[in-house]
Structure 1
Amino acid sequence: MTAFEGQGWESCLARVLEQYDVLWVPYLHTMMRPWDLRAHTFLYEHSPKYLALHGPHDRSELEPTIHQAARRSKRQPTEIIEVEALRYQHLSARLGHAPELDISTFSERSWLIVGGAECETSSRELQEFLNALGVDISHTRVIVRWHPQCQLPEWISHTKVEVSHEPLSVLATRASAALMVGLAAPLDTYLSGVPSCSFVAPSGLAMSPLEENEHHHLAANAADAVQWMHKFAESPHFVTSPERFFNFGDDLSHWRSLILQFSR
């Protein structure tokens, strides 16, 4: 059993495992993005026996490809095994209610900036955002959570922003709004009930399945992002439906059942 995305090396792995008759259960650990064809291509070409999925969104995205692959290969369709979303279990606490955001604990607004894996883009977009914020930064608490694979830019130490290494699940409870930079996906913040803003990707390739709505904005530029985030200075978090995307379960019963099934 391995984490799975549909990358090229995983195609090589699948062929080798099949050659040696090794049972393989790939687990799609990421969220399917609208433009991402890697998993579709892999499933169509290799039609694996099993695929572990952690939510209804990915299942609905991939089922048509699975059936096309079965017709092409004349094999049985890939069996989907439902498991809990390991990466997003913290969102289960949000089911059915919106936690209160105690703005009174801060002397200013609290905004969370989430860095993505595009390191240079993250740095540039954050800098543009802070420039657009201007003197308002003295009345706004800006907390930056940088992507772990990116080095923190040196220039950040000369600003008034705070850098945190706490989990997003914790930081989201303190933020009145959040901004994604460097193509970061807004799932953690948005599904935690935090109004979340992303920049429009120049390529047009969306990094999350979330459509633009009242609480998720696609900003044309930094000034647009600042203006939109100001609207939620004293707003409570909103009610979300993370179960639309992910399976939850404190006891991870689906994972336990899967491990027992294939360890006999």
Structure 2
Amino acid sequence: MTRRYVVTGAASGIGRASVERLRGQGHRVITVDITSADINVDLSASEGRDEMTQAVTALCDGQVDAVVAVAGTTAPTAKTVGVNFFGAVRTLELLRPLLAKSDAPRAAVVSSLAALQPVDEKLLELLLAGDEAAAKLEVDRIGDAVDATGNNPMYTSTKRALSLWVRKNASAPEWAGSRIALNAVSPGVIRTPMTDHGFSSEAGREIFSGIPLNAPAGNPEVVAAALDFLTSAENSFTTGQVLYVDGGIESASRSDEF
């Protein structure tokens, strides 16, 4: 059965791999990115999100079957707050009326294993409260310090918030109550342009070499496969989950937690 998908962050990495996989199966895919997409917009700002919604509505005749929110950035700037959390959440919220018209509506976001790393508690609180203006003002206070793998508290906070948002909202009337399955995929080390910085340092390479399964990194296609199932018509009973596609890092680091 041919389905209609919207994929953000579609021009590279996991987004591009998802588009190629879905189109290879014969599905219609509307791509969204800054450039090189069907809809070229900046999802870090409300204007771009509104423009995206209008364009998607026009291109798909007011109905989509699945939305895959991949767009993200690691830069320690206010744009990261706008894209990674508010951009993803608002994309799903704005397109939810179009999803509700599908016979098998699905939605998925790409979070990150980095969500398990230390976060900035103040920023996390503002993100979950939906206060975008205040959250962006936290950028200067947090600064641009990064750890050995290139993660900044701003980035980890946005991804933690995104995972929590999925967990908190998936069972709500507007999602599960509207038959829309809502899930997240949390990739570990995936070799994409956005993670190249981690491979440029000896410390980063040492960390990546310790991945239990198929070190040092996965490829975008394995994440695309997970997203494919979660947003397929076959997934009729899985919602509110955060699926780690990480070579076993999460289970190895939290083996005593359930």
Which of the five TM-score ranges fits, normalised by the shorter chain? 0.3 to 0.5
TM-score norm. by structure 2 comes to 0.35
TM-score by length of 1: 0.34
Q: Look at both structures and tell me which one has the larger radius of gyration over its CA atoms.
A: 1
Q: Greater helix percent: which structure?
A: 2
